[in-house]
Structure 1
Amino acid sequence: MTQRLSKACLFAAVSSMALSGAVYAQTDTEGASDRRTIDVVTVTAQQRQQSAQDVPISLGAYGAEELRAAGVQDIKDLISISPGLMVTSTQAETITTARIRGIGTVGDNFGLESSVGVYIDGVFRARNGVGFSDLGELERIEVLRGPQGTLFGKNTSAGVLNVVTASPEFEFGGSLQGEFGNFDYRRYSGHLTGPIGDTLAVRLFAAVGERDGFTNLTVREPGGTRETDSETNNYYTFRAQALWAPSDMVEGRFIADYTRRNEFCCSAVQWQTAPGPAALIGAVGGQVLNPADPSERRAFANREYQQQVTDYGFSAEFDIEMPIGTLTTITAWRDWRNQRTQDIDFTSADIAYRADGNSTNVTRFDQEIRLTGVTGDLDWLVGGIISHEDLTLNDAIRFGADWEVYLGLAASNGADPLFISNTLNAVAGGPLFAPGQALPGGSGVNQDVYNQTSTSWALFTHNTYQLTDQLAITGGLRYTNENKRVFATFDTSPVPGCAFLETVFGADPIAGSAGTPLAGLVPLICLPYARTGLDATGYDRSRTDEEISGTIRATYDVNDDVMVYAGFSRGFKAGGFNLDREFNGPVSGGSFTDSDSSFLPETIDAWEIGFKSQLFGNVLQLNGNAFYQEVTDFQLNTFTGLAFVVQNIPEIEARGVELDFTWATPIEGLDISGGYAHVRARYGNTPDTPANLAGRNISLSPENFVTGQALYSQPIADNLLFRAAVDARWVSEYNTGSDLAPGKEQPAFTMVNGRVGLGSLDGRWNVELWGRNLTDETYVQVAFDQFAQTGTFGGFLGAPRTWGVTLRTEW
């Protein structure tokens, strides 16, 4: 109670400062008139062009200059200047998770969609990982905090990352840029823009990048080991745009883009090593770093990590001025493909792996129509959208040649490497299995194929009514209907030991062996990848979810410089299916006949009060809010060390405060901005909440975020311009594991980035020196249970210190 009261008092004090500052600004305009002021940032957070200071929601709006100074090229880079935002990637850079106010969905399972929606040029991207690619030339990025379920729709229950790239111009121009840095980093990019006739302008952008890996990887091969890099960078991207303006009444924007990545990613270091599993790995000829030392950035494998990503699409947006308002249509089609191989035990022992044939393909079509207008005191919007998505996932996890010996040593406390064969032979009453043939290398999943189709449609309206000159009410409603169907086939390459146990104990050998001396051993011999109970039937399931979401907000202009607001909003994310093997249905004829891997929809109800202010003649912008959110049926994805499990957590509560400021300082050319977020997101204490989670802070959710950025530019000669920038981010400690195991904690840390440059005043040339993570902090994005190694946690690390030089010319 004391903490809540203190936070409330702090928020009230800041609000009072804003209001008193506004009064001061009105009485000191003479002094302020000679000062630099803060530029207005135009956003489309409400699908209309508005000043960020007029939108009654908590948001961060970052323009091209701030993004360039912070070195933002993808959504993960954005965390350095956006408080309350977390972006992490794990076993592949395509598997990326964004969180806002602590809420987000772990992305290792493609059956789960993020709670934070990513939109690029008005087009929804189906998974956060697609935003990890080089975003190219950016006009701005908007971080919308809290549910955005009215205008942006499904899968925005925690917030939205709205990315807007630079559009074509009706003046000729272009640029060339080269970047060079440590880890043999090279990136070349350029753009051309200009008119073709009087009504058409085009913009072409291309970039290619390469970089050596951040991790030293020891790969065990027949006859020895070799050293190589992991987490490399190797891609190219292209974007073509056309802006068509045949009249003052019609404007069309067409975009086509293509990105190709072919990289060696992603290995994991030992974040915490348990002596027992480390000894077992050594006993079968493998290696791990024991004791763990993540700062060495050293990893081990017996197979390479390959990642190939192809992402391309087309969109067309039209704005047509009509007598009753503006009609906007957006048509988009996208195709995203990923292929990868992986050593899933993250050691140089040959225990388990993903071989060739593992791939994901997401194809999506969206058609959205909006009509906006102003009638008297009513600013109104109505619209609808229909989407269709096809997802195909091919997965094949197989056991390595060392698996049987490793498991035998583990089950016999290191005493008998032939324990599995000997035990099964004893059950069979004869020499059924030769040593190593009960769980032979290469057995496991031959090929699992998941085909999921999703069709969604929605109708929505969002309206603001000006009750008085100072008071306005905003209300919005959205009806969403989504249908998903998954058809999955399973093909298990024979695992003789498990096949024998299935004949002894039935298609569900784990349940069948309960109460027998083998009850503890059967689940290890018959891991999901070894069981055949789904091969004959597979999955054929469907579900339909529908929801009414919306918002209601009141806005009051205290004066021309200060606005206060309060509101409620509801966000919704549809249910889905765990795209992994689940054996949870009835057994008939030796097969599972009705396995159900579905999970429920997730909803968020959020209450928020806040203020936005432009003080001292718009020399200082200060915004703040307090929020409270309730999440129902949170979709939690957890890796147990053997398989992924998806469960709905009945209740999560998140509360906190957020503050942002931008200050045009008295020092000519120096602007300072920053933010603070206090977020306390906790699981509830309901009877259905797992005991290891109840009442605790959710994973990947620090309680405190502090960010700051200083930009300085000043002419130092008749034709020279000096620029400097520094940004920093501090977060308090947090747990990175879905199960909140103590060993998965990340201590508090600070990240500092910097940039200094010199160029011509007309922009013809520019040279910059830059560095990221200047203090070389070693921190883990996500720590996880390593495959079949109890007490050992692997870690996917953030990038180390990088530095380099950028050369740029513009015309």
Structure 2
Amino acid sequence: MKMKFVRAALLAAASPIVLAGGAFAQTAGEPGAQRQLEVITVTAQQREQSLQDVPVAVSAFNQAQLENSGIQDIKDLIALAPGLMVTSTQSETITTARVRGVGTVGDNFGLESSVGVYIDGVFRARNGVGFGDLGELERIEVLRGPQGTLFGKNTSAGVLNIMTQQPEFEFGGQAELQVGNYDLRRLSGSITGPIVEDQLAFRLFAVTNQRDGFTTMNLRDGGTTTVTDSENQDYYSIRGQLLWTPSATVTGRIIADFSDRSEFCCSAVQWDYDPTIAGIVGMLGGQVLSPADPSARQAFANTPYQQDVTDWGLSAEFDVDFDGATLTSITAFRHWENERTQDVDYSSLDIANRLDGNFTDLDRFSQEFRLQGVRGNLDWLVGGFYSREELELGDSIRFGADWEPFLGILLTAPSGTPSPAGVSQTISSLTGGAVNIPVGSAITAGSGVNQDIYNQTATSWAIFTHNTYQLTDRFAITGGLRYTREEKDVTASFSTNSPAACAALEGAFGLNPVSGWVGATTGVLPDATVTGGAVAIGNICLPYARSGLDNTGYDQSRTDEEVSGTLRAQFDITDDVMIYGGYSRGFKAGGFNLDRQFNGPVTPGVGYTNVDTSFAPETISAWEAGFKSTLFGNVLQLNGNFFYQDIEDFQLNTFNGTAFVVESVDEARSYGAEFDFLWLTPVDGLDISGGYAYVNTEYQTITTTDPLIAALEGQSFSLSPENFFNLAVNYERDLGGNLITRMGLDTRYVSGYNTGSDNDPEKFQESFTVLNARIGVGSNDERWFLELWGRNLTDETYAQVAIDAFAQGRRGTAGADGGEWTQPRNTASYAAFLGAPRTYGITLRTRF
């Protein structure tokens, strides 16, 4: 089936050429018979250039394309861009973009992005920080492959370069009202015009959006269950701009924006639940959907999923033209903060929760200078960059009232007589009867983390150059280098209300109770018994219950220095066909795992010292060869490329069912091909565009003591389909009487892929197709337009990410089979964060 689809996709990509050849052979030479493609200007090389002249794999979407496809945030962009994946998990602020299979699970703020998000020239520190309503868009560029020379660190996989509409010196504005199912109500508007004629102009944009949630939430509070919804939307955003042109040689653009979100998000549904676990949940008065039925979109919780996000920023960009050169300065400050609550176990059983003390505050200042000019055959650019980021993160996971009886049943189930008193029984057995804790007092509600606080600062600076030399009229070479130095410091304090069960084990066997007990029993008990006891202690003393960091905390620092660069050649075969090839290198900064980690030496009576939570930078070396063409009299644009990427120290963030584990994969690779086209058909007003991407990934070499990570060697990356296919058909027709109609359809197909960072086969998502459509009518002068639209019209149910249900069973000896996942599933249960269901509505738009 896979090969059949590949052949079909390649045939579909090639068919426009064949069809166009026949059609345009008939119409060539007929005056006015065909429309012409417009020149698409991009800034992929930090200069304004034609898309077809840039030797970089980049897709660009203009205002009309983005508006026709209803693109409002970076997640919507997957409808148009083949090879791009954007997913969210616990919160919409935990959003991750992937290009060519490369990306980083975003649940841990210690890890930075592989795909950089730039909005109006300003880098957003994490993909989730850049998630939100983008408002009025001028253009979005999707740059694929390492972009470290010009865009810097954290662009090792690619860049999403987003440009919003600028102020204009002609007075005008627009307003848009959107209503739809799930009680969607979105209202936006803007106004622009001159303040001082030809010198100072403004633009003001505002949007507010409310929508009910996609998931039916059964929220349990004591003995009462309330039915509500989650994954709702409730936000507003304001952006003001000034465009200042005091002289013919100076242009300035100043932007201020503010956004606020207060939403119930994000729940997970049961994806594949073990009936034994579901039975225990029910036995203790909780509820999950068993057997699991993701398409029912039913979720269960006893703690609300509340997210409150505030995001604001200021930026100033100035261009000063000198004789033969232009100096660009971009100064920016951004503040982002998030507070959230969460039901960690995604069931109505009170197992674990985040109720208070969970927040992220992120401040970032940046300054960039670029000087660019042309001297003879040389187009040159030099620049410097500085940024300082301050991150404060608070975390507080606490155990609920049902965790002790739930864990007790799990611990005693192998004996054949499962009992809610199992925690107390197990501790008595492990200590030889020396410790006896009353049932109900072993792990009380509210025990766990009082408050963990992480403070991280990152100071980064870079110098770079990027130059193109035109050797002949048709042959040019581009070369660039960037040196980056970054210093990171992190301090962390930990406060634990250690439950009596774990405190007793720490007292008996030391602050590392698992190794202490194993050491005491090795040679005394059979290996199977020792292993079973170690697992029991690990479950009783989860990271949130251990006190070994309370007196010591973290105090770590690291410095990374890296040289990235590019070398490319391009040759114009004709005025309409260009080929290019070359090498590029990018890197993503190293950092620290901002989670509890117990891997340092232990000082008795003090705690863990010299804990090392650091991980190395991720580097990508990419080779690429491609072509760009404008064919058949400038009515068909066809571009393509082939790529191969070597990745060193791939940063992998994996959830093991109770905590996040950050490891570096020594060697990995990604290779494939990407094609996109835009065809202005012989039918007046009918445009067809689309793309196909083939991406093959593999973890090649892994050196680690963690069997969960070691099992990935030889496997494909998670969230990386092999095949992507996008197709968009748009038709516009004049109806007479100053009326026009527009119709459009876009579809996206992806082949099957694993959604879990550990590649557990239960987390596999089968191939699926999403279909969107719209039809509208309005005036030729754009004074008004009314549109009926629908997204995911076939109501496909698919997982963005599937996860291990928190502490609710797992496979036996995870990863022990060397990656084949043949070990017993045991009681492993899974939840999933789903993609959006079918949505539909109407949009009324007016411009003046």
Match of 1:707 in 2: 726
Taking the aligned partners of 1:715 and 1:656, their CA distance within structure 2 comes to: 42
**Could you say if the C-alpha distance between residues 421 and 479 of structure 1 is closer, same or farther in structure 2, counting changes exceeding 3 Å?**
same
Q: Greater CA deviation, 517-526 or 10-19?
A: 10-19
Taking the aligned partners of 2:274 and 2:568, their CA distance within structure 1 comes to: 53
Tell me which of 457, 461, 465 is aligned to 1:461: 465
Taking the aligned partners of 1:788 and 1:161, their CA distance within structure 2 comes to: 37
Match of 1:768 in 2: 787
Match of 2:640 in 1: 624
Task: Give yes or no for contact 1:22–1:614 (8 Å, CA) kept in 2.
Answer: no
- 1:797 to partner: Cα distance: 0.2
Taking the aligned partners of 1:372 and 1:26, their CA distance within structure 2 comes to: 43
- 1:657 to partner: Cα distance: 0.7
Taking the aligned partners of 1:299 and 1:155, their CA distance within structure 2 comes to: 35
Taking the aligned partners of 1:520 and 1:616, their CA distance within structure 2 comes to: 68
One-letter code of the match for 2:370?
R
Match of 1:261 in 2: 261
Match of 1:97 in 2: 96
Tell me which of 581, 588, 596 is aligned to 1:573: 588
Taking the aligned partners of 1:22 and 1:155, their CA distance within structure 2 comes to: 42
SS at structure 2 position matched to 1:372: strand
Question: RMSD across aligned C-alpha pairs, in angstroms?
Answer: 2.3
- 1:519 to partner: Cα distance: 2.1
Task: Give yes or no for contact 1:383–1:461 (8 Å, CA) kept in 2.
Answer: yes
Residues 117-132 of structure 1: matches in 2 within 5 Å? 117-132=116-131
One-letter code of the match for 2:238?
F
Taking the aligned partners of 1:20 and 1:525, their CA distance within structure 2 comes to: 67
Taking the aligned partners of 1:297 and 1:11, their CA distance within structure 2 comes to: 35
Match of 1:393 in 2: 393
Match of 2:238 in 1: 238
One-letter code of the match for 2:716?
N
Match of 1:351 in 2: 351
Task: Give yes or no for contact 2:695–2:721 (8 Å, CA) kept in 1.
Answer: yes
Residues 135-174 of structure 1: matches in 2 within 5 Å? 135-174=134-173
Match of 1:697 in 2: 716
Residues 81-92 of structure 1: matches in 2 within 5 Å? 81-92=80-91
Residues 143-222 of structure 1: matches in 2 within 5 Å? 143-198=142-197, 199-222=199-222
Match of 1:785 in 2: 804
Tell me which of 603, 606, 629 is aligned to 1:588: 603
SS at structure 1 position matched to 2:148: coil
Instruction: Give the structure-2-normalised TM-score.
Output: 0.92
Taking the aligned partners of 2:59 and 2:496, their CA distance within structure 1 comes to: 49
SS at structure 1 position matched to 2:295: helix
Task: Give yes or no for contact 2:272–2:292 (8 Å, CA) kept in 1.
Answer: yes
Task: Give yes or no for contact 1:18–1:613 (8 Å, CA) kept in 2.
Answer: no
Taking the aligned partners of 1:721 and 1:384, their CA distance within structure 2 comes to: 49
Match of 1:534 in 2: 549
**Could you say if the C-alpha distance between residues 399 and 809 of structure 1 is closer, same or farther in structure 2, counting changes exceeding 3 Å?**
same
Tell me which of 794, 798, 801 is aligned to 2:838: 801
One-letter code of the match for 2:723?
N
SS at structure 1 position matched to 2:425: helix
Q: Greater CA deviation, 41-50 or 21-30?
A: 21-30
- 1:34 to partner: Cα distance: 2.9
Residue-by-residue CA offset, 1:119-141 (whole Å, 9 max, x unaligned): 00000000101222100000010
- 1:434 to partner: Cα distance: 1.7
Taking the aligned partners of 1:532 and 1:661, their CA distance within structure 2 comes to: 58
Task: Give yes or no for contact 1:19–1:562 (8 Å, CA) kept in 2.
Answer: no
Match of 1:74 in 2: 73
One-letter code of the match for 1:511?
S
SS at structure 1 position matched to 2:533: coil
Residue-by-residue CA offset, 1:32-72 (whole Å, 9 max, x unaligned): 86310111111100000011111101111001111111110
- 1:546 to partner: Cα distance: 0.7
Match of 2:768 in 1: 749
Match of 2:325 in 1: 325
One-letter code of the match for 1:770?
W
Match of 1:737 in 2: 756
Gaps of 5+ in 1: none
SS at structure 1 position matched to 2:146: coil
- 1:678 to partner: Cα distance: 0.4
Instruction: Give the structure-1-normalised TM-score.
Output: 0.97
Task: Give yes or no for contact 1:568–1:607 (8 Å, CA) kept in 2.
Answer: yes
1:106 aligns with 2:105: yes
Taking the aligned partners of 2:180 and 2:640, their CA distance within structure 1 comes to: 38
Match of 2:526 in 1: none
One-letter code of the match for 1:617?
G
Task: Give yes or no for contact 1:32–1:617 (8 Å, CA) kept in 2.
Answer: no
Taking the aligned partners of 1:154 and 1:366, their CA distance within structure 2 comes to: 13
Aligned pair count reads 807
Tell me which of 419, 424, 427 is aligned to 1:421: 424
Task: Give yes or no for contact 1:25–1:615 (8 Å, CA) kept in 2.
Answer: no
Match of 1:373 in 2: 373
1:65 aligns with 2:69: no
- 1:493 to partner: Cα distance: 1.2
Taking the aligned partners of 1:14 and 1:91, their CA distance within structure 2 comes to: 37
Task: Give yes or no for contact 1:11–1:657 (8 Å, CA) kept in 2.
Answer: no
Q: Greater CA deviation, 466-475 or 514-523?
A: 514-523
Taking the aligned partners of 1:517 and 1:299, their CA distance within structure 2 comes to: 33
SS at structure 1 position matched to 2:534: coil
1:606 aligns with 2:622: yes
Q: Greater CA deviation, 794-803 or 676-685?
A: 676-685
Taking the aligned partners of 2:847 and 2:361, their CA distance within structure 1 comes to: 38
Taking the aligned partners of 1:525 and 1:264, their CA distance within structure 2 comes to: 31
Match of 1:30 in 2: 29
- 1:422 to partner: Cα distance: 2.6
Task: Give yes or no for contact 1:783–1:793 (8 Å, CA) kept in 2.
Answer: yes
Task: Give yes or no for contact 2:702–2:710 (8 Å, CA) kept in 1.
Answer: no
SS at structure 2 position matched to 1:179: strand
Tell me which of 556, 561, 567 is aligned to 2:571: 556
Taking the aligned partners of 1:7 and 1:402, their CA distance within structure 2 comes to: 50
**Could you say if the C-alpha distance between residues 338 and 810 of structure 1 is closer, same or farther in structure 2, counting changes exceeding 3 Å?**
same
Task: Give yes or no for contact 2:657–2:807 (8 Å, CA) kept in 1.
Answer: yes
Taking the aligned partners of 1:66 and 1:694, their CA distance within structure 2 comes to: 41
One-letter code of the match for 2:583?
F
Taking the aligned partners of 2:317 and 2:346, their CA distance within structure 1 comes to: 45
User: What is the aligned-residue identity percentage?
Assistant: 60
**Could you say if the C-alpha distance between residues 603 and 341 of structure 1 is closer, same or farther in structure 2, counting changes exceeding 3 Å?**
same
- 1:521 to partner: Cα distance: 1.1
Q: Greater CA deviation, 515-524 or 677-686?
A: 515-524
Task: Give yes or no for contact 2:100–2:145 (8 Å, CA) kept in 1.
Answer: yes
Residue-by-residue CA offset, 1:204-237 (whole Å, 9 max, x unaligned): 0000000001000111112321101010100000
One-letter code of the match for 1:652?
A
Taking the aligned partners of 1:337 and 1:28, their CA distance within structure 2 comes to: 58
Task: Give yes or no for contact 2:23–2:682 (8 Å, CA) kept in 1.
Answer: no
One-letter code of the match for 2:226?
R
One-letter code of the match for 1:375?
R
Residue-by-residue CA offset, 1:439-467 (whole Å, 9 max, x unaligned): 11100000000000000000000000000
Task: Give yes or no for contact 1:33–1:617 (8 Å, CA) kept in 2.
Answer: no
Task: Give yes or no for contact 2:617–2:649 (8 Å, CA) kept in 1.
Answer: yes
Taking the aligned partners of 2:723 and 2:475, their CA distance within structure 1 comes to: 33
Match of 2:821 in 1: none
Tell me which of 520, 524, 528 is aligned to 2:535: 520
SS at structure 2 position matched to 1:743: helix
Residue-by-residue CA offset, 1:557-585 (whole Å, 9 max, x unaligned): 00110000001000111100000000000
One-letter code of the match for 2:381?
L
Taking the aligned partners of 1:576 and 1:517, their CA distance within structure 2 comes to: 35
1:545 aligns with 2:545: no
SS at structure 2 position matched to 1:716: strand
**Could you say if the C-alpha distance between residues 521 and 30 of structure 1 is closer, same or farther in structure 2, counting changes exceeding 3 Å?**
same
